[in-house]
Amino acid sequence: MNKKKKVLHLVEAMGGGVFTYLVELANGMSDEFDVSIAFGMRKETPENYEDYFNEGIKLIKVENFTRSLNVVKDIKAYIELRKIVKKEKPDIIHLHSSKAGALGRLLVGTGKAKMFYTPHGYSSLMENESGIKQQIYKTMEKILGKRKCLTVACGKSEWEQSRIVTKNSTYISNGVNIDKLNANLINANEQNLEDFNIKKNVFTAYTVGRINYQKWPELFNEIAQKLPEMQFVWIGDGDMRDKLTADNIVITGWLEHKEAMELSTKFDTFILASRYEGLPISLLEAMYMKKACVVSNVVGNRDVIKNDYNGYICDETDQFVEALKDIEKGNSDKLIEQAYSDILNEFNSKCLCNKYKEVYNESRSK
């Protein structure tokens, strides 16, 4: 029997959608590959994160991984990563998000491992950063894009962005684990709406994720203010929660994944008013749960949602408002069924893992 090839994932952003993505990818590949994950902790990293991964997957904490630029810690993190790569001797290194992508690609030449990089949303798209910082990020991506590393975007729009900085790129769309979703929805503890001060029998739109600049809480708040008869729920938390001031918004705080899924089943529609995305797992989960989906017209969202085909794409506040009114009237049944079908046929973890196995195995044969 051939010995399993070793895959080492490097990820600073160990939380939110990236965490869910990594769990499905690592678990789905562990039957054919020896999988290790070197990661940084975040506030949104589940306390019991080890329980999410299959037995045999090795988890290695990188003490100096930080989200923002920090020269001293970044150098220390790079040194840590060099030591980890030297010790683990992986055949394949897979980098996730911009920080790990930058530090990891600097490791090219330190071993014989094939290298892959998934941005999960380019830092150069972060409009809250200064123009100088955005240019720095873009320049870094162009320089590092010349390294011997294949960029594997998590959706077609991100792939199109990647082509600006490197021609050595492809894409594999994100996917959700349908079997696990079904199990979570069946076995999750019953959530009482009263525990979160959520009203019953009120049309409710919800979202899931960090309350930060990317997720555009100001726009979410504007939409809620224009629809005072509806209820809006934000499952998550973040440093911009003070922007959610409308009386009809409820913030639940961070919940375990199965708790968030159980709570989501009680709501009418999903809304994602992001400024930018990779390819959001929360959107894919909502589509599978047969929620009408209303999203902003940005990279990532439009890889999945096609306007008036399987959901609603909106450019401004009033379009979100009109879409939600349309859904409340019961005019979205065909869109919901199409979105559900798209998950079954394309955006699921089995498709994701099978395509990655092809990419990994192809790299091993070269």
253 bridge partner residues? 235, 236
Q: Render pLDDT for 122-150 as a digit per residue (tens, 0 to 9).
A: 765 555 555 676 777 778 888 888 888 99
Q: Which has more confidence, 283 or 143?
A: 283
60, amino acid identity: I
pLDDT value at position 299? 83
Q: Return contacts of 77-84, CB within 8 angstroms, 24+ apart.
A: 77/12, 77/40, 77/103, 78/103, 78/106, 78/107, 80/38, 81/10, 81/38, 81/107, 82/107, 82/110, 84/8, 84/38, 84/60
**SS3 per residue for 210-240:** CCCHHHCHHHHHHHHHHCCCCEEEEEECCCC
Distance CA 342, CA 345 (A): 5
Q: Render pLDDT for 144-202 as a digit per residue (tens, 0 to 9).
A: 888 889 999 998 888 988 998 898 999 999 999 999 888 878 765 666 788 899 999 99
Mean pLDDT, residues 22-42 = 95
Q: Which of 105, 180, 91 is nearest to 147 (CA)?
A: 105
Distance CA 323, CA 343 (A): 22
Q: Render pLDDT for 289-322 as a digit per residue (tens, 0 to 9).
A: 999 999 999 988 999 999 999 999 999 999 999 9
Average pLDDT, the chain: 90
Mean pLDDT, residues 252-260 = 89
